[in-house]
Amino acid sequence: MLRFLRRALLRRLVDRWPSPSRDLARKRSMDAESWRVHYFNQRYDSTVARGIPEAFRDRDVLEIGTGLGPVATFLARNGARRVVGIDLNRDDMVAGARILDARGGERPQFALANAHTLPFADASFDLVIADNVYEHFDDPAGVSREVHRVLRPGGKLYVPAFSSILSKYGAHMKTYIKVPWCNLLFTERVVVEVLAELAKETPRILDDYPALAERPLPRRIREVRKHKDLNSITFAAFKRMAAETGFRVDSFAISFANFERVGRLAARLRVPLLPDVLSLQAAVRMSKL
């Protein structure tokens, strides 16, 4: 009975909660190919350079989780010596290649590869970029060790954005479950059950969460994702992992959205987990030791 009431409450909130992003509404109104073109152009033309310093110029760069390739393309066209973008999603990489064919100009190399076992020799790159992917690795420390291996001495790892599992949208479900902190306010089982209800009304949800069609229904959020790609990383865990895998953290900047003052104070006073909860994401720059 209690789970039923919680499920009813979350569904009521979902039906009434405003979308956190105008782009999410746009995504729902577009077919997949049109959305990919829009997303590529948006990231390339406006935000691809955030968190990426001039250090990429005349350098060999690897981007992990390149997706459609807008960041890698930006680097290839703005002074990087060599750019390789890897991803596990073949459909996105093929779509990105089509977009680049239409745009013309310099393009990076693309490779279908797993970040846990990078197919590159030791000391192959000066810079590695991993944007919006660290919360999706099965073994973040293993990936960091691989990055450390393929970086040259003094090489840099830039993570322009990653989110704590405790952050506002850490469950990565805001396209459909728009309620912030849904995984903290409700059990994962309840969140999955509500998502399954929504999928009955909007079958395209199954494209992103195919396991919603399974019976019995999985109980964890990561289990219904297409690639089962969501871990439980926190900011403190990320910093420990960096030290354990041979990196020095040069900067760790947290974005707090509407909780800037409280978040900064909590971070300064080292209040456990509160900066994670109040955050949207963090940007990290690290050097190989």
Query: What does the pLDDT look like over 170-193, one tens digit per residue?
Result: 999 888 898 999 999 999 999 999
Q: Which of 183, 158, 173 is nearest to 64 (CA)?
A: 158
Tell me: the pLDDT tens digits for 278-288?
999 999 999 99
Distance CA(97)–CA(214), nearest Å, equals 33
Separation CA 245–CA 98 (nearest Å): 37
Q: Which two tokens stand for residue 177?
A: 């479950």
> For the segment 26-65, what is each residue's pLDDT rounded down to a tens digit?
666 666 777 677 777 777 776 555 667 678 889 999 999 9
- Would you kindly state where each structural domain of the chain is located, as residue ranges? 2-20+178-224, 33-166+231-288
Q: Which residues contact 122 (CB under 8 A, 6 or more apart)?
A: 149, 150
Tell the residue number behind the tokens 């690639």, with chain if given.
Answer: 227
pLDDT in tens, 18-36: 766 666 666 666 667 776 7
Mean pLDDT of the chain: 88
| Partners of 112 in the β-ladder | 87
| Contact indicator for 171, 225 with CB cutoff of 8 Å | no
Q: What gap in Å lies between CA 115 and CA 64, rounded to an integer?
A: 7
Per-residue pLDDT, 90: 76
Closest CA to 62 of 46, 82, 89, 92: 82
- Of the candidate CATH numbers 3.40.50.300, 3.40.50.1820, 3.40.718.10, 3.40.50.150, the domain formed by 33-166+231-288 belongs to 3.40.50.150
Please list the alpha-helical segments (H only) found in 30-117: 32-42, 70-76, 90-103
Q: Is pLDDT of 79 > 60?
A: yes
